[in-house]
Chains A and B, each alone.
Chain A
């Protein structure tokens, strides 16, 4: 068991709480920087996707996990970012400028969505974002002069100050830098008054309001930041795939993103990346398990959906805090070693709290 002896108030909001954090995160950083030289090309590409989905996941985590507003149309923001980046870099705009533009445009779209969303909450908000996602997907498919319609759009490889980022190693580095910057930004945001306001809104809108938090402003802000991160992720996604089409940003993508935050663990920054690892690793695991399973099960096209569904149900029922929650339990078990009790993380029983009170 580790006791932190605090000698100053700033220690309360330090990013690294103790030496262990510094050590382990430095180790992770070194491993990630060394990856291009160590890891084979294929796995490096997967790692790049993990980073990209991690960035998008961070955005959705901020919205769903920390502000409590859930969006079933997040692929629309991802798509907005991807198409902005694709169109701008095909026009020859430098990579960093296009990246910022993609994030900014997505954020602007996020604000537009947030405006009707301010009047509704809970399931209505989910349906509003769902509707919005469908409309945006249709726009991608129909606005052929810009997006190339259903036949898709090729994206040139990124170039940074005359330096072509066409090798997977260099693009991995770009993704890593963006991901680290985004994570630090979110961590900083969460320990600032704005982040505290988000969490307050999640826990209870009414009490947040009575503490003087301007609901409309903070919800809009949360939507904007979340959309901007999704846009950033989308921009990198477009470059990584070098080909985008509207069906990559459909409702299924949105549900995948929700899956990411739920399985990663709602309300934890780690969860965004753990969920991204899950989302990227799962198809690989299923593909490798296919050889072991009998023909009738292994070759069935519905296997992936079935496994996703079962995993999702299992997590919601048994591990509502997701992969990060599981890690917390393991860590607590190790810290308390012989004294861990089974009821330590037990969920409280609760009644359905009606929103329909008159």
Chain B
């Protein structure tokens, strides 16, 4: 029972990592850049939902929908204003740029008087509800995370598989220049990919909020999603979710069975081992640059 319980909480946590990692991978696949601001986008999403619920008194579902919409707009805008001008520059400058965006987002949120520096609870309808299945205690918040992740993955899969937009995104991620020649509006798609990544991050933020509260530094969890993305293979969407689950479960078990301090470092130990054993991750393709 103990093991099942740990497994459940690990999976729930892993789903969050997986969702944030999904954002990295979406952006990486589309524009071959890595966004270090993903955790901050998640934080902004959670704050949007919180603002909608507490300031405007909206019901949860409406607030969640509005937050996702706002984050899509924010992501598209971000791509348009700061990312697009430096696409094609070395990867390092884009990494630094997104770190800068993260700083700005965190700084701006803490500057909101009265709200930014406090921690808040997101009053979701399923707060603090518990199901008992025999000895297993199922927290409804964790169940919601798992269910929402599954639904989201299904939607994304369907989008990339069947919709014209998703197929165009795949095409532009495989070869941008060829996609241009085929008449795919690559620039607009890149904007949409950032919007999509921001939306996924916002959903992750709202799912995480009932467990860890909403506060300005919740974005640091994004740093644990990097190991998830790497374990899954940086360019693979299902890999991101699987990687997130692996990291979440390892973390949960390490926190229980290993001495203090291993809980926080377990993801990083896993990723270092992974990079040594299989640098391309579980689902990554082995590709080498050719001349």
Tell whether, in the assembled complex, residue A352 and residue B32 are in contact, meaning their CB atoms are under 8 Å apart. Answer: yes
Does A309 make an interface contact (CB < 8 A)? Answer: yes
Does B106 make an interface contact (CB < 8 A)? Answer: yes
Q: Chain A 282-319, CB within 8 Å of chain B: the 1/0 string?
A: 00000000000000110011111111111111001100
Tell whether, in the assembled complex, residue A131 and residue B227 are in contact, meaning their CB atoms are under 8 Å apart. Answer: yes
Does A342 make an interface contact (CB < 8 A)? Answer: no
Residues A127 and B261 in contact in the complex (CB < 8 Å), given A296-B113, A306-B104, A313-B101 = no
A351 to B179 CA separation, bound complex (whole angstroms): 13
Does A278 make an interface contact (CB < 8 A)? Answer: no
Does B204 make an interface contact (CB < 8 A)? Answer: no
Tell whether, in the assembled complex, residue A355 and residue B176 are in contact, meaning their CB atoms are under 8 Å apart. Answer: no
Q: Chain A 163-185, CB within 8 Å of chain B: the 1/0 string?
A: 00000000000000000000000
What is the size, in residues, of chain A's interface with B at 8 Å between Cβ atoms? 56
Tell whether, in the assembled complex, residue B272 and residue A132 are in contact, meaning their CB atoms are under 8 Å apart. Answer: yes
Q: Chain B 79-102, CB within 8 Å of chain A: the 1/0 string?
A: 000100111110111111101111
Partner of B260, one of A120, A142, A316, A354: A142
Residues in B neighbouring A128, C-beta threshold 8 A: 271-272, 275
- Choose, from B2-10, B50-58, B206-214, B283-291, the stretch at the interface: B283-291
Which single residue of chain B is at the shortest CB-CB distance from A349? Answer: B88
Chain A interface SS verdict (over half): helix
A170 to B176 CA separation, bound complex (whole angstroms): 59
- Choose, from A14-22, A47-55, A133-141, the stretch at the interface: A133-141
A43 to B291 CA separation, bound complex (whole angstroms): 53
Residues in A neighbouring B234, C-beta threshold 8 A: 123-124
What is the size, in residues, of chain B's interface with A at 8 Å between Cβ atoms? 60
How many A-B Cβ pairs are below 8 Å?
Answer: 163
Tell whether, in the assembled complex, residue B275 and residue A356 are in contact, meaning their CB atoms are under 8 Å apart. Answer: no
Residues A313 and B110 in contact in the complex (CB < 8 Å), given A120-B275, A305-B103, A352-B31 = no
Tell whether, in the assembled complex, residue B227 and residue A317 are in contact, meaning their CB atoms are under 8 Å apart. Answer: no
Residues in A neighbouring B102, C-beta threshold 8 A: 309
Does B140 make an interface contact (CB < 8 A)? Answer: no
Tell whether, in the assembled complex, residue B275 and residue A70 are in contact, meaning their CB atoms are under 8 Å apart. Answer: no
Chain A contact residues, CB within 8 Å of chain B: 64, 70, 116, 119-120, 122-124, 126-128, 130-132, 134-135, 138, 141-142, 206, 251, 255, 258-259, 262, 266, 296-297, 300-313, 316-317, 320, 347, 349-358
A127-B271, A301-B117, A304-B107 known, 20 other contacts, Cβ within 8 Å: A124-B279, A127-B230, A127-B275, A131-B226, A131-B267, A132-B268, A135-B268, A251-B223, A300-B110, A306-B104, A309-B103, A310-B100, A312-B96, A313-B82, A317-B82, A317-B97, A320-B89, A350-B88, A356-B235, A357-B289
